[in-house]
């Protein structure tokens, strides 16, 4: 995966003092913007394009809202749910391969670019087994945005354990390719 140049990604030019606000019109633009940007990055690495998954989207939106309510970016829900459990609960039939999260005031393009710089979050976006993506967000009244991207494979079975752990133990927290 030798692709560190993200200059071909669409770039939004905004004044640094302008608060990025997600209104209804902007919300319609975000899913295709994420998909085009991630697929451009994947294409530069010789990988297949991703398609949207309604169930991954549902799980991503649910977790973005939950992170906002908890006021912290992390991979576990307020109900102690893991990313694996959340996608299963949302009806995803494939395997979750990775979860990227972010708390920022930034635009989708800037968030994606930040994920391309970090090796582990970049690996999630460039997972060669991936064929589906879900994106969700929640913007707080102060403008802060909680971003979640889930990457999955419709061709693999879930790696999630059958039962959700009752508490967050060392074993429960060890989730490969779930970085933020």
User: pTM for this one?
Assistant: 0.80
Per-chain mean pLDDT for the chain: 83
CA angle 150, 138, 106 (to 5 degrees): 85
DSSP character at residue 129 = T
- Within a 13 Å sphere around the CA of 81, how many CA atoms are in the beta-carbon half? 17
Answer yes or no: is pLDDT of 14 > 70: no
Nearest to 42 by CA among 145, 156, 128: 128
Secondary structure percentages of the chain, helix, strand, coil, to 5: 35, 15, 45
Q: What is the pLDDT of residue 161?
A: 53
Q: What is the pLDDT of residue 164?
A: 44
Q: What is the pLDDT of residues 112-126, one digit of tens each?
A: 999 999 999 999 999
E strand residue ranges, 35-161: 51-52, 95-104, 132-139, 145-153
Dihedral of alpha carbons 34, 114, 71, 89, sign: positive
Length of the chain, in residues: 180
């Amino acid at each position: 995966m030798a692709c560190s140049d993200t200059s071909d990604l669409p770039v939004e030019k905004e004044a640094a003092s302008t608060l990025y606000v997600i209104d209804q019109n902007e919300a319609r633009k975000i899913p295709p913007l994420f998909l085009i940007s991630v697929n451009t990055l994947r294409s530069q690495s010789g990988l297949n394009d991703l398609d949207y998954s309604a169930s991954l989207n549902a799980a991503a939106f649910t977790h973005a809202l939950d992170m906002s309510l908890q006021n912290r970016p992390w991979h576990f829900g307020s109900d102690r749910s893991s990313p694996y459990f959340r996608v299963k609960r949302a009806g995803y039939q494939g395997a979750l391969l990775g979860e990227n999260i972010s708390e920022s005031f930034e635009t989708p393009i800037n968030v994606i670019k930040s994920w391309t710089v970090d090796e582990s979050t970049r690996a999630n976006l460039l997972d060669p087994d991936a064929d589906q993506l879900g994106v969700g967000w929640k913007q707080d009244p102060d403008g802060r945005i909680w971003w979640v991207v889930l990457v999955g494979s419709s061709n693999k079975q879930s790696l999630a354990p059958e039962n959700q752990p009752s508490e967050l133990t060392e074993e429960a927290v060890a989730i490969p390719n779930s970085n933020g």
